[in-house]
């Protein structure tokens, strides 16, 4: 069991962040294996052949991706903490990655091999020099070819997760905010987060605090990022990643769409996790006016309510909205802490 230990000062300075690098790493892991998530299937089917062709043509890329997808220890240079909070840009992350020396990369890769459940022969693909720069080039290609087009929608989903957890933090503190970030994460005692059930040494978070970084769950895993001079960052799957699938994917959703309209049904289901109108517009690729019109109808029907938080209005489902969207199977409203 691995614990992250945080003192009072570390807690006060901990915060949320976004990382396009983490999103890219999740995509690499997802495209390296068969698809098991129905919501991910269309994206995976479009991009998997080209990604596999890339690996077939580049032994270094194939060896690295195979190792990353089959180890309990991610190489340090692919899992660096984001440097600029919610404003982090992929270019800045890859620039930092590219500067990691070969000896550091090699040592980290050997640790990853030791922690892998498969056999790997580094000598067959870890050749030449500038391994970190070559990794950065690979990640840039994955971003350009497979993620850049869908990033605005996925970023909106990540920002919604941050909004949700920031609300829990404000109301209940960090123990509730970190609850269920993954199936292992839980607050332990007065000053520690358990984020893994695997054996390992505890980490002590410094006075600068740590970062909590959602990604869309393409790899479904959770990992800890470490970097010299940077705070620890815990990367976790965002709530509602499965909402990226079509609203018409299941029979009950089809019936709900026929009842109240496809657009309003999609928004009502999406409000399982509270969101602003801007976040909903970005997620569905709609205008603010269209989203506002749907929300107005849902509010008049008392299926959603809006609550002001500073300059924003955050919408959530009412109990009636929950019952309509889930058939009464949901145990708590979207605004109720898990």
> In this predicted model, what pLDDT tens digit does every residue of 237-283 receive, in sequence order?
887 654 444 433 456 667 887 888 888 888 988 888 788 888 888 77
Answer with the residue of higher pLDDT: 310 or 160.
160
Distance CA 158, CA 239 (A): 8
Tell me, what DSSP letter sits at residue 184? Answer: S
Q: What is the pLDDT of residues 153-200, one digit of tens each?
A: 888 889 888 888 888 888 888 888 887 777 677 788 778 888 776 767
Report the pLDDT value the prediction gives residue 328, as an integer from 0 to 100.
Answer: 59
Mean pLDDT, rounded, for 2-20: 90
The whole-number pLDDT of residue 8 equals 84
Domain boundaries, the chain: 2-17+153-237, 246-326
Look at domain 246-326 and name its CATH class. mainly alpha
Q: Say how far apart CA 66 and CA 18 lie, in whole Å.
A: 25
**Strand ranges of the sheet holding 223-227, from the earlier edge strand across to the other edge:** 15-16, 211-215, 230-237, 223-227
Dump the DSSP string for 2-18.
Answer: EEEEE-HHHHHH-EE--
CA distance 277 to 287: 10
> Percent of the chain at pLDDT above 70?
89
Q: b or e along 298-310 (b: 16 or more beta carbons within 10 Å of the residue's beta carbon)?
A: beeeebbbbeeee
Residue pLDDT, tens place only, 73-118? 999 999 999 999 999 999 999 999 999 999 999 999 999 999 999 9
Is the confidence at residue 284, as pLDDT, over 60? yes
Q: What is the mean pLDDT of residues 44-72?
A: 95
249 φ/ψ angles, rounded to the nearest 5 degrees: -75, -25
Tell me what pLDDT residue 336 has: 33
- 279 is written with which tokens? 């976040």
Query: For residue 218, what pLDDT is reported?
Result: 63
Residue 290, CB half-sphere, CA atoms under 13 Å: how many? 15
- Higher pLDDT pick, 15 / 263: 15
Could you tell me how far CA 45 lies from the centroid of its own chain? 20
- Whether the CB-CB separation of 131 and 78 falls below 8 Å is answered with no
What is the overall mean pLDDT for the chain? 85
SS3 193: strand
Beta bridge partners of 2: 196
What pairs with residue 74 in β-bridges?
A: none
pLDDT at 245: 43
Residue 12 scores a pLDDT above 90:
no
| pTM of the predicted model as reported, rounded to 2 decimal places | 0.76
CB atoms within 10 A of CB 188: 13
- Express each pLDDT in 217-231 by its tens digit: 765 678 999 887 889
Residues 46, 35 contacting (CB under 8 angstroms): no
- CA nearest neighbour of 264 among 289, 297, 227: 297
Tokens of 10: 């570390």
């Amino acid at each position: 069991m691995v614990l992250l230990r945080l003192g009072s000062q570390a807690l006060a300075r901990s915060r949320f962040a976004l990382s396009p690098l983490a999103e890219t790493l999740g995509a690499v892991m997802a495209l390296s294996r068969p698809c098991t998530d129905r919501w991910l299937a269309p994206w995976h089917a479009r991009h998997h052949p080209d990604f596999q062709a890339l690996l077939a043509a580049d032994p270094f890329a194939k060896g690295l991706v195979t190792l990353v997808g089959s180890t309990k220890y991610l190489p340090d240079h692919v899992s660096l903490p984001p440097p600029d909070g919610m404003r982090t840009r992929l270019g800045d992350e890859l620039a930092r990655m590219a500067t990691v020396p070969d000896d550091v990369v090699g040592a980290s890769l050997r640790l990853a091999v030791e922690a892998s459940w498969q056999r790997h022969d580094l000598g067959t693909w870890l050749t030449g020099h500038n391994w970190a720069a070559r990794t950065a080039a690979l990640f840039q290609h994955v971003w350009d070819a497979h993620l850049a087009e869908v990033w605005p929608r996925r970023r909106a989903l990540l920002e919604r997760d941050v909004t949700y957890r920031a609300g829990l933090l404000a109301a209940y503190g960090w123990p509730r905010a970190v609850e269920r970030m993954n199936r292992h994460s839980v607050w332990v005692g007065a000053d520690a987060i358990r984020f893994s059930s695997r054996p390992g040494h505890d980490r002590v978070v410094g006075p600068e605090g740590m970062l909590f970084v959602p990604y869309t769950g393409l790899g479904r895993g959770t990992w800890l990022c470490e970097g010299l001079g940077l705070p620890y960052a815990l990367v976790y799957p965002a709530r509602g990643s499965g909402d990226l699938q079509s609203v018409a994917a299941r029979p009950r959703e089809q019936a709900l769409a026929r009842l109240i309209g496809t657009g309003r049904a999609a928004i009502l289901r999406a409000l399982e996790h509270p969101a602003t109108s801007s976040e909903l517009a970005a997620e569905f690729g709609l205008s603010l006016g269209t989203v506002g019109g749907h929300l107005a109808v849902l509010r008049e029907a008392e299926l959603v309510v809006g609550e002001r938080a500073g300059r924003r209005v955050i919408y959530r489902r009412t109990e009636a909205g929950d019952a309509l969207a889930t058939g009464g199977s949901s145990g708590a409203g979207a605004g109720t802490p898990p």
